[in-house]
Structure 1
Amino acid sequence: MECAAKGLVAEPCASEARRRCGGCGAVAYCSRAHQNVHWGFHKEECARLAEQMSRIDMLKQFPFTFSVESPALNHTFPSPRCFLLESFKLHQKGLWKSECICDPEVTSVKDLSKTTDWSMGSALCPCTEPEHNVSTPLTSWKDYYRWRSLPLQSPVAVLLHWPLTLYHCVQLSHLQTSKYDSQDTLCIHYLGPEKELYQLAVFGELRALFPGVRIYIELVGPAVPKSRDGELVTISNYAHCCDESCFCKSSIGSKDLSCSAVTFKLRKGLYHERYSDIVKDSKPHLIVAANAGIAAYPSWISTIEIIRKVGIPAIFTDFCEEAAHLASSCIASITGQPLRVPLAVHPIRQA
């Protein structure tokens, strides 16, 4: 770890930061002198960080067996994620390309929304209709895997984090999805997509999560390629497995799923800059931003002001609990009101 007092003192750190704060354990120092200097800043956050650190074990608790062991890194696979993908022979393949960080050029505009294959056998992925609809709300990955009859060694949660986050946000907002049947449309404005743009096929799982519901999603953000601005993409099937004999590739297994299709409209730019154009086409029932980084990007200020004015329910997730705390402080300062839904750990967070 880096010394928490770095940049606050004139003299450089004399050694590695191995001296952890005894109160929270979240920050470390190279020396007692640097710790004393930093206390003036740290004392206001120490108790909060201690509370967050008390939940570390809980945050690490995933049901998956695929992530139990991580091989040593090397020059070929410099990240645990790349190691994981290679262990399933998924490295730089199809929908998984944008999860690879060893080659930043592995995804391109031409890959956007074109890949629809899990690149895995049917036993490891949800490529067909579920055996039954969700009877009670899913509250964990274990619930989801059990419902979809998936083994815990399946890595699909890495990609399904996106549609399952939308599902969780709909549950939190208390939207009655039963009224958005084939005669109406559930409209969601999804802000700041990045990796999701290259993994749109996995959002077909929303059809299983909300059977019979027509879903329209505006994907709005700077990462949308200029050449795709305004494009419509419709997902009316589940992503396929790689088994040639699987039911998912059979015309007999294909249904007229237009009544429960997921339609995306891509919009390049910041939400507050595009808002007047967007609402001409669609007025949202819910606004969602995943891994938003609200405290890190000043451009969120104008977007939050727009959301406050229109009064549409909005749910944000962030990269970690401390980032979420900073985001909530930013939102409260902009809106002048506390959050209606208190901060909580995302139960179907990214694996």
Structure 2
Amino acid sequence: MECAGKGRGTRCLGPPRRRCDRCGAVAYCSSSHQILHWNDHKEECKRLEQQMKCVDVLNDFPFTFSQEATLQVLEKKETRCLFLSKRGVHQVGMWLYECCCGESVTSSDHSSRSNDVWHLPRILCPCNEPVSPISKQLSSWKDYYEWRCIPLHSPVALLLHWPLTIYHATQAVLGSSNPEIRDKLYIHYLGPEKELLQLAVFTELHALFPGVHVHIELVGPSIPQNRDGERINLFNYAHCLEADCICKSLSENLSWDVPTSRTSKVTLQLRRGFYHDRYRDIAKDFSPHLVIAPNAGIAAYASWLPTIELIKEINVPAIFSDYCEEACHLGACCISTVTGHPLTFPIQINPFRQPMVVENSALFLPCYSNCFLFGI
């Protein structure tokens, strides 16, 4: 974490150990930098103070590893690398990009066959159909783990937050009995990055939307040029480690433009570029039921402004997520400025946020991938 007053005329005198007495969310290297920053900070201070009151709620997960993945990481007693190493999934398969060791890896470096495996025993991962269909709307990680018969010491939620966030956003905005999505669900998914190395995790949408053909257009500048236009058919679930498991009964889990007579219920289409530039081409095939933008960072990137204008024009519900409530607040202000209207989906905690805190965040606020949701 850097001094909140960095660059205010003088060099920082050391690490930022002096926290704001009121909000406790920012820190300074010295009293002089704190004084210089006050004119900027005073408007956000009270808001950050309120957000800090949610710390215990944000850190509340049902897993046996929850304290290790939250407080111990925040206190630098634990790291993502060590957490993953203890569970035998450090730098392997879909887990490759879950720590800083994989930051230099690009989605074009690995074929589907190298990253469609959980690298866990079958008891710890959803590698097959659920024992029973969903009998109620899932509203927490505990609900999901109980339904999928996965023990609470399994780390799979660290990857499953992607499809579960899609599920939660769809249920919250469109509802479970919407006749428009009884057979097909079309989603435009904006700004994918690390998901491009974890695409096999989206096979869980088979279980979450039984009997529904889910088609997702993944659109963003991080998609490599050589993958633009690539279509991926997800037939089965990501594999476990056990050679005799039924998940190995089919030779292919992901089909990458391979001709087949089978009809996939989950398809992904990769599109390189900004949504506002690519939408017209994409919409020739179908209009989306929902737009989803994970960890959007709307206030940080000017490229979001024409995209928000487009979403307003096409009048399709859109759900955004971000790492902390303050990022969502800033994003919501940008949206309201463009649309002239307040949010129709107010800022709220995502029950399916990733259950490991982000290391080295800009604020003392706990930050999680897909932590808060908001939308129009």
TM-score (normalizing by structure 2): 0.84
Q: Structure 1: which amino acid aligns with 2:101? A: C
Aligned equivalents of 2:29, 2:332: Cα separation in 1: 31
CA RMSD of aligned residues (A): 2.5
> What SS does the aligned partner of 1:215 have?
strand
> What is the DSSP-based 3-state SS (H/G/I as helix, E as strand, rest coil) of the residue aligned with 2:241?
coil
**Match of 1:168, as an amino acid?**
H
Aligned twin of 2:366: none
Report deviation, 1:179: 3.5
Shift in Å at residue 230 of structure 1?
1.0
Instruction: Measure, in 2, the Cα distance between the counterparts of 1:23 and 1:98.
Output: 37
Name the aligned partner's letter for residue 192 of structure 2.
Answer: P
Q: Between Structure 1 and Structure 2, how many residues are aligned?
A: 342
Select which of 307, 313, 317 maps to 1:309: 313
Q: What residue number does 2:231 align with?
A: 232
Residue identity opposite 1:343 in structure 2: I
User: Where do 1:309-328 residues align within 5 Å?
Assistant: 309-328=313-332
Query: Where in structure 1 are there 5+ consecutive unaligned residues?
Result: none
In 2, Cα distance between equivalents of 1:69 and 1:283: 43
1:243 and 2:247 correspond:
no
In structure 1, what is the equivalent of residue 90 of structure 2?
91
Residue matched to 2:126: 126
Could you tell me which amino acid in structure 2 is paired with residue 189 of structure 1?
Answer: H
Conserved? CA contact 2:93–2:116, under 8 Å = yes
CA distance in 1, matches of 2:32, 2:67: 39
SS in 2 for 1:186: strand
- Alpha-carbon spacing, 1:258–1:22, altered in 2? closer, same or farther (3 Å): farther
Q: 1:116: which partner in 2?
A: 116
- Relative to structure 1, the CA distance from residue 14 to residue 86 in structure 2 (aligned partners, 3 Å threshold; closer, same or farther) is closer
**Cα distance, 1:169 vs. partner?**
0.8
Q: Could you give the per-residue CA deviations for residues 153-201 of structure 1, whole angstroms, max 9, x where no partner exists?
A: 111011101000100110121244563678x421000000111111111
Q: Which has the higher contact order (CA 8 A, sep 6+)?
A: 2
Once the two structures are superposed, residues 275-325 of structure 1 have per-residue CA deviations (whole angstroms, 9 ceiling, x without a partner) of 111101121010000001111111011111000000000000012111111
Letter in 2 for 1:152: L
Map 1:1-351 to 2 at 5 A. 1-8=1-8, 10-69=9-68, 80-114=79-113, 115-176=115-176, 179=179, 184-250=183-249, 261-351=265-355
Which residue pairs with 2:365 in the alignment? Answer: none
Amino acid at match of 1:326: L
Return the offset for 1:246: 1.3
State the TM-score, normalizing by the size of structure 1.
0.90
- The offset of 1:17, in angstroms, is 2.8
Q: How many Å separate the matches in 2 of 1:103 and 1:210?
A: 31
Q: Extract unaligned runs of 5+ from structure 2.
A: 254-260, 356-376
Same amino acid, percent of matched pairs: 54
The answer as to whether partners of 1:79 and 1:101 remain within 8 angstroms in 2 is no
